[in-house]
A and B are shown apart, each in its own frame.
Chain A
Amino acid sequence: MDFKNRKCYKEEDEPTNSLSCLPNEIALDILSRLPIKSVIQSRFACRSWNLLSCDPLLVHMHMSMTMIYQRVCLIFHSKYPLRNQLHFLEFLDDDDNQIVRKFDTPFSDFTPEFSVIGSVNGLLCLIDSSLADSIYIYNPFTRDYKVIPKSIKIQDQIVMFGFGFHPITKEYKVIKIVYYPNANNLKIARKCNGLMTSLRSDVQIYNLGTNEWSSIGETPYRLEKRSSPGVLVSGRLHWMSQLAKYTSRPGRIIVSFDLSNDSFREIPNPDSGALKWTSSHLAVLGGFLSAATHLGNGALDIWVMKEYGVPESWVKMFTLGAYSPRIIGPELQNGGVSLHNFLGGNSVRILCVMKTGEILVEYKGGTLVCYNPDTGEFIEFKS
C-alpha cells in the first residue's frame, strides 16, 4: 500500500471509487463476515464488488467465519406442492426473527421437480425426479450449475446416492450405488420388494474434477435405501446397511465410503456391538458422525462418535423426549402425505446442532423444532 492510495481516500474533491483505496483482501475480509443475504446485496454496489462476491477466496473465508462463529445456514427443499422449491434460512447471532427466503433454480424450466442428493461447501447436488434423471451440481448463490453427464442406467435398479468432498484430495464426487436384479432373478426380485441378497450391485463414482463417471464394480454391502443420501463426515459418506433379515448380520451397521481412495469400511457399533441400530438414522452433529435411534413415540437416543473411527468413542449424548408438534407442518396441513423417508416409518429426525448447542429436529409433516438438551425444552418454528 503506497502513499498515493492512502491519499486518494482522504481527498473529498476527487470522486474516486473507494474500492481502489480499500484493498481487495480487506473488502473480502469484511464481506466474509456478512450474512449471506448481505453478501448478495453487496454485489449491487458496483461491478468490482460483484466480482469480489464471486471470488472463490470469499467462499473459503466465509466458510471459515461460519465455522468460527458457528453460524448455521439451512437450505430446505420443500416437497409440497411441488418438489421444486428451495428455501434458505440463516441463523444469525442475535436475531430472533429469522426469515425463510425462497429462491429459484435457473433450471426450473426444464427440471420441474428435483430431489436433493447432498450439499457440501455451499454446493447443492440435485437430481431430476422425473425419468430424465439428470443430476445437477448447483451453486445457489452464484446461480452457476453444471449438468453431470449421464451414467449407466439399469432396468429395475434401486439407487443410493451421496455427494461429498474430501478435504485432502479436494475432490467433489457424486456416488451412485446401484442394486439391480440379475436377468435370471428378475421375477423373484420383483416379488420380494427390497430383497437385496440376490441382487447385483455397481458402485459408480462421478468426479467433478475429471467430469467422468467410473465404476469400482460390486460391493458386498446391502445398504438401506431409506438412508440415502449418504451423510458426509471427514471426507467419507455414510449409509446404514439393511436389516438382518436381508443380510447375514444382526441389526444394521454403518458403512462408510472414503472419497480419497474409493473404498468401503464399516463403522463399528457402540457398546462393543451390543447396539444394533435397528431403527436409526444418521446425521452430522457439530461435525461428528451421529446416529439417532428411535425409542418409539418419537423419542430418540442420540449417539455421537467423538473420535472418528474409534468405536469406544461412541457416546450417548442425550435422549430426545417424545414430542408432538403443536404446529402442523405444511404438508399435513394441506392434507398431503409426508414424503419423507424416515427409517422404520418413524416420524422424527435430527438435522443439525445450532450455535447455542440446541438441536434442530424435523417432525413428520415438516415442522421444525429446536430442542435444548440441557433443559429438555422444545421450541417450534412458526412456518
Chain B
Amino acid sequence: MSSSEERKLILKSSDNEEFVVKESSAVQCLTIKNLVEDRCVSDPIPLANVDSKILALVIEFMEKHAETTLSNSEKKEFDVEFVKKPFDDLLELILAANYLDFRELMDVLCNTCAKQMENWSVEEVREKFNIQNDYTVEEEKAARAENPWAFE
C-alpha cells in the first residue's frame, strides 16, 4: 500500500466538529485538492461554510464514490437513496458541494432538483426555493399570455 492511500485529512465543520477522511476521497473536492497540491493544508482544514450535519452527508457520498470496488450501477443505486431527503437539505448540500467544488455531487443534486421541479407549479417552485414573487398581478398575466403553451 502506498503512503498516499493511507494519508488522512481532518475536516472541521463550521460548528467545530472534526471529521477524519482519507485524502484520496477528499480530493474529489477540488477546493480540498487545491489546498493539498499547494501544500497549504493546515491541520484540521476549516470549512467555514459547511455545518456538521451537511459535512457528514458530504463525506458519506465522497467515500462511497471513492470506493474503487463499487460498480457504477451500485454507485447509482446509492445516489438514488442518498437524494431521498427533504428539499431544504438538498439545497444545503448543493451549497456545500458548490463551496467544496465537488462536481459529481453537484451533478447528482442538481439533476435531482431539476427532476423534482419539472412537476411543480410556479407557486410550488416559489415555496420550495423560498422566493418572493415580485411581479405585479398585471405583469404576471401579461407574461403568461405570451407563452400560453408553457402552461398546457
Q: Hey, which bits of chain A sit against chain B, CB under 8 A?
A: 1-3, 6, 9, 15-19, 21-23, 25-26, 29-31, 33-35, 37-38, 40-47, 49-50, 88, 99, 101-103, 143
Contact = CB atoms under 8 A, between A and B. Distances in A.
Per DSSP, are chain B's interface residues mostly helix, strand or loop, or mixed?
helix
B48 interface: yes
Contacts of B135: 44, 46-47
A15 B92 CA distance: 17
Given A16-B130, A41-B122, A45-B126, 15 more contacts: A9-B92, A9-B95, A16-B132, A17-B134, A22-B94, A22-B95, A26-B98, A30-B113, A31-B114, A38-B118, A40-B150, A46-B131, A47-B135, A50-B143, A99-B152
Interface of B: 14, 48-49, 91-92, 94-95, 98-99, 106, 110-111, 113-114, 117-118, 121-122, 125-126, 129-135, 140, 143-144, 146-147, 149-152
Contacts of B14: 3
A242 to B, nearest CB: 40
Contacts of A22: 91, 94-95, 129
Q: 8 closest A-B pairs (Cβ-Cβ)?
A: A18-B130, A33-B114, A101-B149, A40-B150, A44-B122, A17-B132, A18-B129, A103-B149
Nearest to B106: A29
A11 to B, nearest CB: 11
B117 A46 contact: no
A38 B110 CA distance: 14
Contacts of B146: 143
B118 A35 contact: yes
A22 B149 CA distance: 28
Given A15-B132, A18-B129, A18-B130, A88 B122 contact: no
B126 A37 contact: no
Nearest to B151: A41
Given A6-B49, A22-B91, A43 B143 contact: yes
* Most chain B CB within a 10 A radius of its CB, from A18, A30, A103: A30
A40 to B, nearest CB: 4
Contacts of A34: 114, 117-118
Given A26-B95, A41-B122, A103-B147, A17 B131 contact: yes
A133 B123 CA distance: 44
A10 B118 CA distance: 25
A6 B95 contact: yes
Contacts of B114: 30-31, 33-34, 38
A9 B131 CA distance: 11
B102 to A, nearest CB: 13
Contact of A19 (B106, B129, B144): B129
B133 A46 contact: yes
A293 B130 CA distance: 56
Contacts of A21: 95
Contacts of A26: 94-95, 98, 110
A18 B128 CA distance: 9
Contact of B98 (A16, A23, A40): A23
Given A1-B98, A26-B94, A37 B150 contact: yes
A143 B143 CA distance: 12
Nearest to B109: A30
18 contacts: A1-B98, A3-B49, A15-B132, A22-B91, A22-B95, A22-B129, A25-B98, A29-B106, A31-B114, A34-B118, A40-B150, A41-B122, A41-B151, A44-B122, A46-B132, A46-B133, A101-B149, A103-B149
